[in-house]
Amino acid sequence: MVRRLDSSESDFSSAFAALLGEKRGSAPAVDAQVASIIADVRENGDDALVALTKKYDRHQLDLSAIRMPAESIEKLADQADLESVEALKFAADRIRAFHERQRPEDLRYRDTASVELGMRWRPVAAAGLYVPGGTAAYPSSVLMNAIPAQVAGVARLVIATPTPEGNATPLVFAAARLLGIDEIYPIGGAQAIAALAYGTASVKPVDVVVGPGNDYVATAKKQVFGDVGIDMVAGPSEILVVADGGNDPRWIAADLLSQAEHDPVAQAILITDDGEFADAVAAEVELQLETLPRAEFARESWNNFGAIIVIADLDQAPNLVDQIAPEHLELAVSDPDELFDQINNVGAVFLGRHTPEAIGDYVAGPNHVLPTSQTARFASGLSVFDFLRRTNVIGCDAESLAQIGGAAVRLAEAESLDGHARSVSIRKEFRPFRKPL
């Protein structure tokens, strides 16, 4: 039975705090295991990849050909359902069009002291794209990971995707072919992240590793960060639906289950100001679980981590939403924009009764790789910016240095960094700095 919270109850604050405090991420044992896997790959390279893939994916890699041959990729891609491939093309066009609008322009100007200032954007040289392939395969993740990198101008894109027991999903490889990516490694888990970060004889290392994954993948990304860049440390999927009584409870139940089916530790939460509607949604969830193919995952998620929160008025919702800081937020209310204006912490928002979260997973355009576990308080979804480096530009001539150098000398001396001061003053004798009138 899903938990139910009511803002009118005296214990609401403590119950809500307990909901926020629940941990759905990796255990300390996972941290230690991942560290061991990373160390193994760094020390033993390809041999470790072969052994770890056999152990965890029950798949025997060919040590002499860890990178998938072009003919194998083509053969798998050719097996993909043609109608699904057309849907991928449709989605790719929309995703690319959105991300093209994110591309920043270089900035160059001269300020009032005639100092040249600016920013220059350049892509990283290589990006590793992790595409999950465990309990489910995600060809949509190929598009969401790769397209912003391509828009940024990354020259080398590398896909790592597990093939448990040697079973590959043709549509994943069709998506890679659609985007022109031919460097693919059938490895997964922490060993894949380690190979992308540090390289082996077969895998040339990359500069940035992106993409969602399980506890082992998320933990590995956290541990390699600093040696390579990462997009984020993503945890289990989550959805928060704020809905009034004007909705069809079947729709809202389906939306909640759309994320609960991802994983037993996914989270689905409903906030509503209508108690009878809450009852109807809860009943409808139980009905839909009877026919949902991934009901085993969804039921465990719903019963262990799901919640229905009944509030007296929708005006209470923004404060609760900001504390939850959800990955996905649906505002299924009569005026979603008014409510959204009061909300700050969310990975992606879906406005109105006719915008199910799943539309954002596939074809809307914005990226579906989003911050989870309350990290939307400070993090954002995957974008073109994750594949770009920003370089500051500063240029002085003798005249502009004369205008601003005195202040630099004064501040350097105040910090007892006389070498800093000398590197400025040696070019020109400055009068003592005085505060401008």
Residue 328 is a catalytic residue = yes
**β-pair type (107-110, 208-210):** unpaired
**Number of other CB atoms surrounding residue 82 within 10 Å:** 8
Tokens of 419: 């070498």
List, in order, residues 6 or more apart from 52 with CB less than 8 Å away.
37, 40, 41, 187, 189, 191
Sheet holding 238-243, edge to edge: 3-6, 307-310, 267-272, 238-243, 328-332, 348-351
Amino acid at the residue 250: R
Strand partners, 392: 119
- Residue 223 CB: number of other CB atoms within 10 A? 19
Query: Containing H/E element for 391?
Result: strand 388-395
Helix (H, G, I), strand (E, B) or coil at 424: helix
Query: Which residue(s) pair with 345 in the sheet?
Result: none
3-state SS, one letter per residue, for 229-267: EECCCCCCCEEEEEECCCCCHHHHHHHHHHHHCCCCCCE
Q: Is 420 a catalytic residue?
A: no
How far apart, in whole angstroms, are the C-alpha atoms of residue 61 and residue 47?
10
Choosing from 183, 238, 284, 327, which is the catalytic residue? 327
Strand partners, 184: 159
Cα 205 to the center of its chain, rounded Å: 21
Q: Supply 312's token pair.
A: 């007296």
Strand partners, 6: 310
Kindly name the residue from 99, 262, 328, 368 that is annotated as catalytic. 328
Give me the active site residues, please.
327-328
